[in-house]
Structure 1
Amino acid sequence: MNKLDRLVRHSIDLDFPERMIDDKREHSQEDKKFIQKVNETIELVDGHYKMGLPFKTERVRLPDNQQYALQRFKGLERKLRNNPKFHTDYQKFMADILEKGYAGSCRITKWVSNSREVLEAIPKEERAKEIKDLKLEYDCLPVERALGTSWSVESDTIGFQINIENRPATRRGILSIISSVYDPIGLAAPFILPARILLQDLCRRGIGWDAKIREDDRKKWQRWLSDLPKLENVSAQRCYKPADFGEVKVCEIHHFSDASEYGYGVASYIRFVNEDGRIHCAFLMGKARVAPLKKITIPRQELTAAAVAVGMNRMLEKEPDINNEKWKYINTKSNPADDASRGLTVDKFLQNKRWLQGPDFLWKPESEWPTQEGISGALSNKDPEVKREVSVYSTVLVEQAFAVEKILLRYSNLTKLKKIVGWFLLAKKNFLDRCRKENKTMKATTKTLRRRVVKKQSHLLH
């Protein structure tokens, strides 16, 4: 198996080591001391941040490096004197950074904003290239790339810009195109899952990276590929809270998880309630992953999806002030994570607003949420996750064990047992040889006695 195969298989089975440890990297004691030192000494002075040097000890005696600095300065002076071009370039560079103010502080340029008022306040030369020549009064703001995603500045939404490269219908080509769809927060996770399922199926069957795939697989891939450009119609608001929402009184994060035989998924939403009781929900993050190559039960996949949801909660809860965790059951019809565990075609994905907006009940007061259905505690004996209670009945017949059985039961060391059995077999051989020898002697004696008796009887007859 080559390295690429191993990497793909590892990515598929990533969530199934069933580890009981938290992978969060903790700070060392030295890291904590450094952070404390920064927090205690950092201050803003004349537009610059200043902080104490993070020495390990309080009393530090620095070496005298005046002589070294003087040597460096003299070396630069000689180079400037001996190289006229370097001297000219150096002067020009220093004059340029002094004129632009770079030598005093870091100046931020290439500004982009969805607020026209903010852009009006920024000098034209410091705006982004695409905005410099726009008439802000009536021109539409452009589409920008922000952290690898497509940001429509005019509508302040994030989405996709799809550029399909020509790739062969092989495992390598399929993987290349799937990987080119950059979706860090899982906006299109339900649509991407079917392509990943196809790729996993090819991997399971051991199809070569550049081998021709079957006709039915090729048709599946072509259907998905033809739907891919429609992904540009998918978008979500960049800002979680509407501008006119007012003061937030309640902030909650809701995670939904689900699993099927094809995969498992998680969807997370933030829910706001303002002082007037108005409710707004926004998509936070989603994940859709294929089931592992080694078949496991649906309940176990459900637990894995729940564990992924917990991991997402730990990451997201550091930002807003959210309520304590509560676990609740939700049926499939109301669960948006069902889309991530089974996958959707792009048309169904565009028609179904549940994935990006959350289930309908989240937009209602909690009193109108679905009631918790009673869950029976009894489990079917056919459930593969239920450990069956096995009763074993045995009858013990008490009888005298043979010598060999006694020896086998007495010694647990194999080497010692071999020696004992060897001696036992040697003794058996000697005993049998002795018996045979005595038997021969006895037979010979019997013959001799018989001859004598016959001879005696014959003598008497005469």
Structure 2
Amino acid sequence: NDDGIAKVLGLLWNSRKDSLHFQVSLKSDSVSNKVTKRSILSMSSQIFDPLGLVGPVIVKVKLMLQGLWKLDLGWDDEVPSDILHSWNNFQVQIQKLDLLEIPRQVLCDAPIDVQIHCFCDASQVCYGAAIYMRSTDKKGNHHVNLLCAKSRVAPLKVISLPRLELCGALLLARLAQVVIEALNINYSSITYWCDSSVVLCWLAGEPVQWTTFVGNRVAEIQGLTKKSAWKHVRSESNAADIISRGLHWEQLHSCR
């Protein structure tokens, strides 16, 4: 249109600023105003975020849906007041995503060096992965941008935090493999960052050394990545921390 806005794969692209934007308008299919598990699932599925760019916000509704499953509610039963309050707050928050502006270009012009940095993290409720591109221009300036991210809620069956961290590492390895196959660029290095010393110890060993749960996941990760590419990062510097815990829109908007 006249503002230079066009729809691209479900997102809005501002051709003048070369930036991506979200247009979220949650609509209920229910004829009543009753909020149920069915209506929350239906409305939350309308949020289209294929690259996981607003994953920390989406995590909030994923955890809400998991909470509904734990309560064993019927599809058309009204949700409890605390979840209703959280859902109403989420609807207000999600409308503000229209204000978010994300640069489409993840590499600088004519880069002399490109690196891929991959991060994974986990909490007791969720685990996630995020991939960043670092490009260097001719003047030696570094440019870092988020390429994509992905998250999963922790299973209903309680498992230890190190095992959740391992699930996050596997999610990252799979996501990175998809990215490598899709990108048609030359890069000098790819590094996988994890803040769990236990997971790094597992990955440094052989799958047969560990239990079935750990061994199977270690074997797949080692098949997708090189052992030497895995490095330790301090928890406070882990870029995947926010997607493993979730954020409100205001926090995401101010996040750098």
Q: 1:297 aligned to 2:160? A: yes
**2:93 corresponds to which letter in structure 1?**
D
Q: 1:343 aligned to 2:246? A: yes
Higher helix share: 1
**2:134 corresponds to which letter in structure 1?**
R
Q: 1:226 aligned to 2:66? A: no
Structure 1 residues 124-165: Cα deviation after superposition (integer angstroms, max 9, x where no partner): xxxxxx4xxx5xxxxx32x21111111122211112011121
| Structure-2 separation of matches of 1:274 and 1:214 | 54
Following superposition, the deviation at residue 183 of structure 1 comes to 0.2
Structure 1 residues 371-392: Cα deviation after superposition (integer angstroms, max 9, x where no partner): xxxxxxxxxxxxxxxxxxxxxx
| Structure-2 separation of matches of 1:188 and 1:293 | 24
**1:285 corresponds to which letter in structure 2?**
C
Show the counterpart of 1:258.
Answer: 121
| Structure-2 separation of matches of 1:287 and 1:235 | 19
Percent identity (aligned): 31
| Structure-2 separation of matches of 1:344 and 1:324 | 27
Structure 1 residues 24-56: Cα deviation after superposition (integer angstroms, max 9, x where no partner): xxxxxxxxxxxxxxxxxxxxxxxxxxxxxxxxx
1:19-30 → structure 2 map (5 Å cutoff): none
1:253-402 → structure 2 map (5 Å cutoff): 253-318=116-181, 319=183, 320-322=185-187, 323=189, 325=191, 326-353=229-256
RMSD after superposition: 1.5
| Structure-2 separation of matches of 1:164 and 1:154 | 27
Stretches of structure 1 that go unaligned for 5 or more consecutive residues are 1-129, 135-139, 354-462
| Structure-2 separation of matches of 1:216 and 1:192 | 18
1:65-84 → structure 2 map (5 Å cutoff): none
Q: After TM superposition, where is structure 1 displaced by more than 4 Å over at least 4 residues in a row? A: none
| Structure-1 separation of matches of 2:247 and 2:44 | 15
Higher relative contact order (CA 8 A, sep 6+): 2
Q: 1:150 aligned to 2:12? A: yes
Instruction: Pick the aligned partner of 1:161 from 23, 38, 42.
Output: 23
Structure 1 residues 101-137: Cα deviation after superposition (integer angstroms, max 9, x where no partner): xxxxxxxxxxxxxxxxxxxxxxxxxxxxx4xxx5xxx
TM-score (norm 1): 0.44
1:271 alignment partner, SS class: strand
* Bigger Rg, which one: 1
Following superposition, the deviation at residue 324 of structure 1 comes to 5.0
Following superposition, the deviation at residue 276 of structure 1 comes to 2.1
Following superposition, the deviation at residue 256 of structure 1 comes to 0.6
**1:241 corresponds to which letter in structure 2?**
L
1:200 alignment partner, SS class: helix
Distance change in 2, residues 1:324/1:183 (3 Å): closer
Count of residue pairs brought into register by the alignment: 212
| Structure-1 separation of matches of 2:147 and 2:101 | 13
Higher strand share: 2
**1:317 corresponds to which letter in structure 2?**
I
